[in-house]
Structures are given as structure tokens and as C-alpha cells.
Structure 1
């Protein structure tokens, strides 16, 4: 018996609604990991910016050091 021949009501009774929340959690985890990785790359780029360009942006080297010292999960 394949999944195509099993009626939908039997599948719902057998598996309940468990797969749906797990899919949502997986998507949330992937988004979170992508956000952390993006933040990490932004801080690496920020660390490489010249002091002259930092003044144009309105940042001090101390601001950059403080931001780059944060862990990737910290906003």
C-alpha cells in the first residue's frame, strides 16, 4: 500500500499534525542561521573599513571595535 492509496483521514489519524510545526521550525532555524552568518560577514567587512571612510559614515574606531567584539548572535 503506497501513500497515494491511503486516504487522507488515515494519514491524519496516524501522523497527526506533527510535520507542519517541524517544517516551520526548520524554516525559522534556517532564517536564524542565515541572519547570524550575514551579521558575521557584515562585522568582518566593518573591521576592514578605513578610518577615513568610517568618519564619512559617522563611526569612530572605538565603535567599530565594540561592534566587532560582539558574538555573531548578538545584535
Structure 2
């Protein structure tokens, strides 16, 4: 009878991502976070300052209703 040997698969080499892909991904996440933060800050501005900026509450409401990935 033949002896059975345990099968141990070879480890799969880890894929290296391209530096540009890593950089682009981090930039995209940073842009999304900045957009989220700016909309949150915009929602907290009082009416007097909004008038100075030339914005209405409706403009702010419309902008803050967008998702973080929307421009």
C-alpha cells in the first residue's frame, strides 16, 4: 500500500499594486473626506454668514443632501 502524503499548497505570492494606484486611491479617499467635512461645516453656518457668501438655506440643504462622492 502506498503511503499518503499530506498536501501542502504553495503560498500564493502577494500581488504588488502599482504605486500610482495606491496614490490615486488615497487621494480619492481624501477628496471624499474633505467633501464630507466641508458639507458638514456648511450646514452649521448661520444665516448671516450665508448671506455674506451669497447662499440661501435652500442652497445649503441641496448641497448637504448630496452623498460624499457626488460633486
Q: TM-score range by the shorter chain?
A: 0.7 to 0.9
Structure 1 unmatched ranges of 5 or more? 1-17
In structure 2, the gaps of 5 or more residues are 1-14
Specify the alignment match of 2:20 in structure 1.
24
Q: TM-score, with normalisation over the residues of structure 1?
A: 0.71
How many pairs align?
A: 57
The Cα RMSD (Å) is 1.4
* 1:47 matched to 2:43: yes
Q: Which has the larger radius of gyration?
A: 2
Normalization by structure 2: what TM-score? 0.75
Residues 1-75 of structure 1 aligned to structure 2 (within 5 Å) = 19=16, 22-75=18-71
How far is 1:22 from its partner? 1.5
